Amino acid sequence: MWPGSPQPLGTRFHTGPGGVAGTNFALWAGGAEGVEVCLFDDAGAETRYALAELTHEIWHGFLPGVAPGQRYGYRVHGRWDPWSGARWNPAKLLLDPYARAVDGEFTLPAEVYGHVRDWPQQHVADTVRDERDSAPFVPKGVVVDDQDDWGDDRRPKTPWPDSVIYELHVRGFTMRHPGVPERLRGTYAGLAHPAAIEHLTRLGVTAVELLPVHQFAHEDHLLRRGLRNYWGYNSVGYFAPHAAYAASGTRGQQVGEFKRMVHALHAAGIEVLLDVVYNHTAEGGERGPTLSLRGIDNPAYYRLPPQDARRYTDYTGCGNTLHVVRPQVLRLITDSLRYWVQEMGVDGFRFDLAAALARSMHDVDMLSPFLAVIAQDPVLRRVKLIAEPWDVGSGGYQVGAFPPLWTEWNDRYRDTVRDFWRGSLPDMRDLGYRLSGSSDLYAWGGRRPYASVNFVTAHDGFTLRDLVSYEHKRNEANGEGNRDGTHDNRSWNCGAEGETGQEDVLALRRRQLRNVLTTLLLSTGVPMLVAGDEMGRTQEGNNNAYCQDGPVSWVDWSLLRDPAWRSLFDLASRLITLRRAHPVLRRRAFFSGRAQGTRGLRDLAWFTARGEEMAESDWYAPCATLGMYLSGRDIPQRDPRGRPVRDDSFLCLLHADPEDTRFRLPGAAWGDAYEVVVDTAHEETPEGAVHAAGSEVPLTARSVVVFRVRDEPGEAETAGYGPG
């Protein structure tokens, strides 16, 4: 072992002193008394080397002859004193937090726990150190070749207002895809396959948001029930692509495979966003396994209650919370983020339970170290940043509170749209704000409408089809007595619970799906779809399928052969195309709601079914019918050459009432005629129907009609109230 260097952290294969090739090892373990790096051959035989050099709490050394593909881990020596948070145990082989590839899978037998897991007195089990060697039972880090195979990759750099996000699971998206070779299904290479990318480009999305692809572990309670963590929100390796998603091998090949996937998506004009879980790790609470950080320096990496350091502060609901205020933890996270941007090519991140990262010592703080570091980082401040703006701790709900630079998952949008289409919205104010960009949440500090990531469904909860088919969750397959998953689904089954053969119910469900998709894709903000929703994927009523690695979670591509579901896909694609063609649907600034220009028309106006602008009192009255007028003449935006942007104007009629009605179109002040471009009452929208200004049009029960305004005339004085 040569002295080596404390920088960079992790392992780096390079040419050392005297031109000798080898690998440098560097591990931050501030409170440790000693560190050994352990190398493993193909038969599993272990060779240990002490890291004798200690620089600024980093243990380091250079091993000549160690090449890419070498498997390794660490053993860290120190005190065993759980009451003060000290849980060092050199019997446990630890994964390098900076490992860029992992070989093997965590199966969590008793030997991988730092304490005696099965101690008879369970209330003190976590205080009894387990002396058994865990090395035969845990995955190993892999030394990775740093040669650049990135090629001529060009990032799409899609502006936020033009973005349409598609949330998908790497494995589930391709496991049943008939056009992807069987050997590639469920892998990074499968997602990179032309057949998979063709669906994304035909649909028209601009970015995929991948459920966690950091190396993760399955929870013990799932393994005991014969299940697995499918979603992956249980990270243990923040630099390593999850090995089980690799078709090419797990001795470093997964790194190149992931890069090639990103390259293929970029070539198709699609950005890659990662759903990342830096708020907690797979080690869980005090009764969890010792896999990495707990054994490296438990009190330095995790938040421990000052009054009881044996326990863990849990703002995540997952047993522990990373102590992001500490410099070494903040460095781990930001080093990881930069690695995925600079070396792996990704375009942004969605941060799971981001409020936990924004906490200072206790409270959520929008001036916290994490947010401050991101804001000034020359790499990270230029990529897409999406917050899940809550955690489970006190004061953790922070929708609308994240600073400029950040966008947010807007659950207020989700709940409002669900309520409207199931007939439960008490008044129209909230709907007006959600449709027009949620200015009540985001019109401060320079934030823009695209700060709102609008969604109606996500991986967590019902699929879109299940949202109109079930009022009660069906989670029995998860093995938790149907107690898991939310009870607050805000769903409506359209008259029959679950799958049914009643044609009238099925027709209504399909219309409701068209209503929700149309509402989502024409709302101001950034829309997010979930893989399979555009073709009627069902999870059979399971609203918490985190442990269902099977057909219930995988995209069912056979649905596209069914004309009813194919027409839903065609509608989604047509709506995205409409959105892409019209800047009035992709606004970069909030509506003012005031008269604009010489014509005196509002840039955003709201109408009752009588064809009259809504008065203030109308916003407080229960109502199921709303007209939204979007003016394309008053867009506060200029093109790259400085010319004003002009567009068509649109009138959207949303009718959630169970009875048919008639809607009087706005008069000549707003347009000469109105041409139908979308009508969700039909599986296929009739082409080219035109209605005169001021005429009455029929609205089918529970439907959306979208008109393009034709031949807008001159000046008119208008008045009214509503969200701007």
What positions carry a catalytic annotation? 352, 388
Name the one residue in this structure whose structure tokens are 């998506």: 265
CA-to-CA distance for 324 and 414, rounded, in angstroms? Answer: 30
- Read off the amino acid at residue 475: N
Cα separation, 314 vs 396, in Å, equals 12
Radius of gyration for the alpha carbons in the chain, expressed in angstroms and rounded: 28
Q: Identify the sign of the CA torsion 118, 124, 130, 134.
A: positive
Looking only at the bridges linking them, the beta strands covering 34-40 and 71-77 are antiparallel
Q: What is the DSSP string of 185-220?
A: TTSHHHHHSHHHHHHHHHHT-SEEEES--EEE---H
Two tokens, residue 172:
């589930």
- 3-state SS of the chain: helix, strand, coil percent to 5? 25, 20, 50
CA–CA distance, 149 with 422 (Å, rounded to integer): 51
115 DSSP assignment: B
The answer to whether the CB of 350 falls within 8 A of the CB of 274 is yes
**Residue with structure tokens 């009508």?**
679
Alpha carbons 694 and 662: distance in angstroms, whole number: 12
Other CB atoms within a 10 A radius of the CB of residue 657 amount to 15
The H or E element that residue 395 is part of is none
The residue type of 555 is V
d(CA 712, CA 668): 8
Burial profile 33-47: b = 16 or more Cβ within 10 angstroms, e = fewer: ebbbbbbbeeeeebe
Assigned token pair, 124: 């003190």
User: Residue 341 phi/psi, 5° resolution?
Assistant: -80, -55
Of 371, 297, 287, the closest CA to residue 97 belongs to 297
